[in-house]
Structure 1
Amino acid sequence: MSHSVAGEPPSAGRRAAPLTTAVYSAAEWDLLTSLPARVLVAAAAPGAGRPERGVLAGLAGLDAVAAGRGFDSDLVRAVVAAIYARHDGGPAPAERLTDLVDLLVACRAAVRVLAQRADPADSAAYRQWVQSVAARVCRAVPGPGGRLASPADRRFLDRLGGALGLG
């Protein structure tokens, strides 16, 4: 177990640096660390009966990503740390981020990677966290009649949940 500078163990029994990243190839880790942003952008994108979203939806998605820091999952915390530690500062190409078919394929690929390499609890936490990013974006701006998610948003969330093996 690693210790802090003061020689005390990290709070709540958490490791200072999760060992979870060592079991993933660079391509697998890139998939796991890029998927939350891809989901956020896809959830915020209008189209197919889904309303135009604004800054509030994007902020809700960013807040949902950041909320992963508090998860009781080494994997989720490591992914969030990697997301915030990236130095390139540039987003992935827009077509990579918003194409729904490609996003669902990436979700299924992530599920396969997690099934092979992750602890089942970490796998479930990661998949639920990614789904929660989309749900918070879709519900950030009430639609007509004050509904929190349009029927098209619910279909999007259902498809995403299915691709993540949640439904």
Structure 2
Amino acid sequence: MPSQPAPGDPLSYPAHAFPNVAIDVFTAHQWELLVRLPGRVIVGATQAATRAAARAGGPGRNVRDGLAGLEAMAAGRAFDSDLVRAVVAAVYAERLPNASTRPRRDLLDECRDALRILDDRADPADSAAYRQWLQSIAARVCTGGRGPAVGQLGPGDRRFLADLGHALGMV
């Protein structure tokens, strides 16, 4: 009897699901990182603003903000990047535990790891699209889905987005 691929293993997804993406260039660990990172970005953006709001005595993130992040993640299905579409499909096919609530420093380290992986193994256009997609997810959470009003964000949100942009090599 053939062994079953481990969850998160790129080979555990049917090949026909990603016809234009050579996901086999990624190790299981690398693919899992790329698939889990969008959810971690939503959690990180939510936590950053909630902590900043608590320090200022204001309200933190609400469900609408998290839903805006999920909508931005799902919008990756329409990206002009086979890699981003494959990651979105894998996110929805995933049976792994939810994104953890590890500290922001870990999230930024994971973003740097993903940047190195993408630089080594992905098409440059797919790498850029994936990084832009992650940044857009975070921005949607930070603005609560209200659009591109990033200039009106509080200092905690601006700092989070700047740190994320640096970690993703976008700044």
Task: Verify the 8 A CA contact 2:39 2:99 in the aligned structure 1.
Answer: no
Task: Verify the 8 A CA contact 1:57 1:140 in the aligned structure 2.
Answer: yes
The size of the alignment, in residue pairs, is: 145
With over 3 angstroms needed to count, the CA separation of the structure-2 counterparts of 1:39 and 1:16, relative to structure 1, is closer
The answer for unaligned runs of 5 or more in structure 1 is 1-14
Work out which of the residue numbers 70, 78, 84 in structure 1 matches 2:78: 70
1:140: which partner in 2?
144
TM-score of the superposed pair, with normalisation by structure 2:
0.79
> Any runs of at least 4 consecutive aligned residues in structure 1 with deviations exceeding 4 A, and if so which?
none
Identity %: 54
1:155: which partner in 2?
159
Work out which of the residue numbers 80, 85, 91 in structure 1 matches 2:88: 80
Shift of 1:141: 6.9
Task: Kindly report which structure 2 residues correspond to 1:39-118, keeping only aligned pairs within 5 A, or say none.
Answer: 39-45=41-47, 46-49=50-53, 52-88=60-96, 90-95=97-102, 99-118=103-122
The answer for unaligned runs of 5 or more in structure 2 is 1-16
CA root-mean-square deviation: 1.9
With over 3 angstroms needed to count, the CA separation of the structure-2 counterparts of 1:49 and 1:55, relative to structure 1, is closer
Bigger mean CA deviation after superposition, 79-88 or 107-116: 79-88
TM-score of the superposed pair, with normalisation by structure 1:
0.80
1:26 aligns with 2:28: yes
1:164: which partner in 2?
168
Shift of 1:92: 3.7
Distance (Å, rounded) in 1 between the aligned partners of 2:22 and 2:144: 32
Distance (Å, rounded) in 1 between the aligned partners of 2:158 and 2:145: 14
Work out which of the residue numbers 38, 41, 60 in structure 2 matches 1:36: 38
Question: Which digits, 9 at most, give the CA deviation of each residue in 1:51-93, with x for residues without a partner?
Answer: 51011001000000000000000000000000001134x3144
Distance (Å, rounded) in 2 between the aligned partners of 1:52 and 1:60: 15
Distance (Å, rounded) in 2 between the aligned partners of 1:156 and 1:121: 25
Shift of 1:115: 0.3
Corresponding letter in the other structure for 2:113? A
